[in-house]
Amino acid sequence: MRPGAGQSGQASPEYVGLILLVALSAAAFAAVKVEPGIASAVQGAFCDAVGAECAPAVTPQESLEQQEAILEDALEGTLGEFLAMKSSPEHDPRMDYSDDGCSAPTGSEKFWFHFREACERHDFGYRNSKRLGLFDDYKERIDLLFADDMIAACEEEAWWQRRPCRWMAGVYFGAVSIGGGSCDLPGELLGRVPGPCAPEHG
């Protein structure tokens, strides 16, 4: 039987290529001065050596800044834009898009009114701001946006359901706000959101 390439002492083209790749990697490391940012420099030297176009390496700090920018976009844009980003197969995998419907006691699929989508953005804001260590900076803003999203949903209800819908929005807003030790409505929401955080409830 004819011996294989490895048995005959002859290296296959793939094996030679692997050795060359390892050698180029070693050369790239040897050419780089050890200092902060070494990963980017090593990657650049290696890509130059193999003649490849490589995306620049991202430092941990740059990664955090990029993720905070995504969080900002999610909170700055419309609810529809957030939902499109969430459903896109190309959304950033570093972000947490999971949700439990604001931990609604009625069950995530059994809202009295159409607050599911508002809850999805609220959960996104909470989970990612906590993960990035920015929860204290973002909590109030996320809660107020939640109230706005719910009020907007109430406007889509039949006219005779809007008042009870806004009251329920106030209950949800109160639950998340009180959970954080605060139950203050900004001026633009006073009179629009009844419920436990309204002035008449103390």
Q: Per-domain residue ranges for the chain?
A: 5-50, 63-201
pLDDT (tens digit, 9 = 90+) per residue, 77-117?
Answer: 999 999 999 999 999 999 999 988 776 544 444 455 788 89
- pTM across the whole model: 0.62
pLDDT for residue 130: 93
Least confident of 37-41, 70-74, 111-115, 116-120: 37-41
Which regions of 11-149 does DSSP assign to beta strands (E)? none
Banded pLDDT at 202 (limits 50, 70, 90):
very low
Tell me the average pLDDT across 152-156.
Answer: 91
CATH fold label, 63-201: Phospholipase A2 (1.20.90)
Q: Is the dihedral of CA 41, 42, 44, 45 positive or negative?
A: positive
Question: What is the arithmetic mean of pLDDT over 54-58?
Answer: 65
For 95, half-sphere exposure in the C-beta direction (CA atoms, 13 angstrom radius) is: 28
**CB within 8 A of 66, min separation 6: which ones?**
58, 92, 94
Distance CA 190, CA 197 (A): 9
Average pLDDT over the chain reads: 73
Question: Interior CA angle at 194 toward 190 and 197, to 5°?
Answer: 75
Say if residue 149's pLDDT is above 50: yes
**Phi-psi category of 32—alpha, beta or left, where left has phi over 0 and alpha has psi -120 to 50?**
beta
pLDDT exceeding 70 applies to what percent of the chain? 54
Active-site position among 91, 114, 122, 201 = 122
Residue 122: active-site member? yes
3-state secondary structure of 85: helix
Closest by CA position to 181, among listed 148, 139, 142, 147:
139
Cβ neighbours around 80 below 10 Å, total: 9
CA distance 68 to 73: 9
